[in-house]
A and B are shown apart, each in its own frame.
Chain A
Amino acid sequence: MNVHAIRAIYVFELARTWRTLMQSIASPVISTSLYFIVFGSAIGSRMAEIEGVSYGAFIVPGLIMLSVLTESVSNASFGIYLPKFMGTIYEILSAPVSTLEILIGYVGAAATKSVILGTIILMTARLFVDFTILHPVWMVAILVLISVTFCLFGFIIGIWADGFEKLQVVPALIIMPLAFLGGSFYSIHMLPTFWQNVALFNPVVYLISAFRWSFYGVSDVSVVVSVGMTLVFMIGCLAIITWVFRTGYKLKA
């Protein structure tokens, strides 16, 4: 294992986060704060409790997921796309590093950023609403699992993208709508039966459900199914990335 290479990529990538602090951390925190002010405090105070949880507290896990999912995909895709765009990818391709080491470096850094972001949003939310975390260890574990999985997905997007537009398309046009419709602001049990069934095809439903369970012990779908679905998605991403490096798809001529 080329530990020095993993460390080099990880530190190099994380350094980019500190250089772009406003874009990386401050921007999502500000937008999440606005959600809490509007949906949590203003509208939330007029909403009934959902499954015994105040509306303001209910949306906390969903809003964290909303940011974590979009930022994981954005950060990881940008992390690998930038060297492709600048041409510095030659150094990664010619270095004595394995696919796994490259992944640990890039995805590890992007996931670290997502977890930091999730934690900051969690602390910001605490300023607006009162909540408790029933299963803190599971909360951290699920946050890490989802961050890593969506960073892997973002890594694939970054390899696939051949322009900045494609980088923006997936988080903005796919992840964001799925997160909004996946129960960030409501329980899918509040939907008519038909739409409840449709919602089950939305993978983000399972992620938010599992994460919310770690907070309040309530979930839209079984936690085991949620974690299982996430793991399946993760394995799928790993398989695609392995294929990408084996064939050199969009990386090697």
Chain B
Amino acid sequence: MTLAQPIVSVSRVSKAYASGFQALKDVSLEIRRGEIFALLGPNGAGKTTLINVICGIVTPSSGTVVVDGHDIRKEYRAARSAIGLVPQELTTDTFENVWSTVKFSRGLFGLPPNPAYLEKVLRELSLWDKKDSKILALSGGMKRRVLIAKALSHEPRVLFLDEPTAGVDVELRRDMWNMVRRLAKSGVTIILTTHYLEEAEEMADRIGVIRQGEIILVEDKVTLMQKLGQKQLLLELREPLSSVPAELAALRLELSADGTRLVYTFDSRGEATGITELLRRLGQHGIDFKDLHTKQSSLEDIFIGLLRDGHAPPISRPAPRADGAARESQGAAPGRVQG
């Protein structure tokens, strides 16, 4: 086993249910050891089915899956031992207490009792104080933590998080993100599905997009944002304009309704963005500006575009983010923008 080998290898997996519904269509995917991989897709796209196939909960109609070098059917013990799963639904042993359910999970996966390790897991998830509490009495967020504790109780090398932050508050979401980062740092491979694109954007090393049972894209996050993202330069004018001068029409400038902002869309991958030329020509026409910003397409913009028509859309309005940050980068001074 080498580090270069993928830790999860899905090869030509299809799944058709008895009803005839084709949940997965010839899916092939490789997950690199130690990475955080985000699987994105709308409801019913096949995300959970794919995870369930890898974990052994759903039997694929065809294709093979290898986890940590072990075929999930022929060497199911070794393959499953490597996997921890946090399901989407809050499926817990309602009448049990936290400690017994976590202890159960560890034993179920073939590991001897290790109270010290389980204590560490529960403390990291702020569950230690609740260890004797019935799960029934816990809040939704706490139940979610219990599910994570159960998955971590058997020291998995691959952790599947199926919509881990669905329905949890911002604080818990932040806690979970930190936990995922810590796990990834310790060498655990993380595969998460999420509806929160900011989550994928914040956490993932690579992103896969699944639509109608087919993987339509797998890409390094940074590359994806660069390849499919567009950038805009926003110029805040000192004096409002009534219209864009005709001589500047070729530059594809847009003027805001109140005439105080010029928007210039450019391809950041191009040899020349045209910004230097733009600024020069604006100067020639006596159009002065007091500030400028650049804005990049969010993952959400890219994702929606991919699902709709297979390519990235133009940049939408600055998307509000859970942490309140706007998706804009501030240009310090016009002179620092290179064309």
Is A94 within 8 A of B107, CB to CB?
no
A82 nearest CB across to chain B (Å) = 9
Chain B stretch 91-110: residues in CB contact (< 8 A) with chain A: 91-96, 100, 103-110
Q: From A12, A93, A96, A248, give the contact of B104 (CB < 8 A).
A: A12
Complex CA–CA separation, A68 to B78 (angstroms):
39
Is B59 within 8 A of A96, CB to CB?
no
Q: Which of A2-10, A34-42, A154-162 contacts B (4 or more CB under 8 A)?
A: A2-10
Residues of chain A within 8 A of B76, CB atoms compared? 96
B71-84 vs A, CB cutoff 8 Å, 1 = contact: the mask equals: 00000111111010
> Does chain A have a CB within 8 A of B58?
yes
> Does chain B have a CB within 8 A of A95?
yes
Residues of chain A within 8 A of B92, CB atoms compared? 86, 88
B131 nearest CB across to chain A (Å) = 15
Q: From B52, B80, B83, B91, give the contact of A88 (CB < 8 A).
A: B91
Residues of chain A within 8 A of B107, CB atoms compared? 4-5, 7-9, 11
A95-B108 contact in complex given A90-B87, A90-B91, C-beta closer than 8 Å? yes
Is A93 within 8 A of B17, CB to CB?
no
Residues of chain A within 8 A of B94, CB atoms compared? 86
Is B85 within 8 A of A4, CB to CB?
no
> Does chain A have a CB within 8 A of B55?
yes
Residues of chain A within 8 A of B80, CB atoms compared? 94-96
Residues of chain B within 8 A of A95, CB atoms compared? 80, 108-109
Q: From A7, A12, A94, give the contact of B56 (CB < 8 A).
A: A94
Q: From B81, B103, B108, B112, give the contact of A92 (CB < 8 A).
A: B108
Is A94 within 8 A of B57, CB to CB?
yes
Residues of chain B within 8 A of A92, CB atoms compared? 108
> Does chain B have a CB within 8 A of A19?
yes
Closest to B90 in A: A87
Is A96 within 8 A of B78, CB to CB?
yes
Chain A stretch 50-101: residues in CB contact (< 8 A) with chain B: 83, 86-88, 90-97
Residues of chain B within 8 A of A96, CB atoms compared? 76-81, 109-110
A30 nearest CB across to chain B (Å) = 23
Residues of chain B within 8 A of A19, CB atoms compared? 95
B269 nearest CB across to chain A (Å) = 42
Is A91 within 8 A of B150, CB to CB?
yes
Complex CA–CA separation, A34 to B55 (angstroms):
50
Complex CA–CA separation, A188 to B56 (angstroms):
50
Complex CA–CA separation, A86 to B93 (angstroms):
7
Residues of chain A within 8 A of B52, CB atoms compared? 90, 253
Complex CA–CA separation, A141 to B17 (angstroms):
45
Residues of chain B within 8 A of A9, CB atoms compared? 104, 107-108
> Does chain B have a CB within 8 A of A43?
no
Residues of chain A within 8 A of B108, CB atoms compared? 4-5, 8-9, 91-92, 95, 97
B17 nearest CB across to chain A (Å) = 6
Is A253 within 8 A of B85, CB to CB?
no
Is B100 within 8 A of A15, CB to CB?
yes
Closest to A15 in B: B100
Is B103 within 8 A of A8, CB to CB?
yes
Q: From A12, A87, A252, give the contact of B91 (CB < 8 A).
A: A87
Is A94 within 8 A of B59, CB to CB?
no
Q: List 20 A-B contacts (CB under 8 A).
A: A2-B77, A4-B106, A5-B110, A8-B104, A8-B106, A9-B104, A11-B107, A12-B100, A88-B92, A90-B52, A92-B108, A93-B56, A94-B57, A94-B85, A95-B108, A96-B78, A96-B79, A252-B59, A253-B58, A253-B59
Q: B-contacting residues of A (Cβ < 8 Å)?
A: 2, 4-5, 7-9, 11-12, 15-16, 19, 83, 86-88, 90-97, 248, 252-253
The 4 closest A-B pairs by CB, nearest first: A8-B107, A87-B91, A96-B77, A96-B80
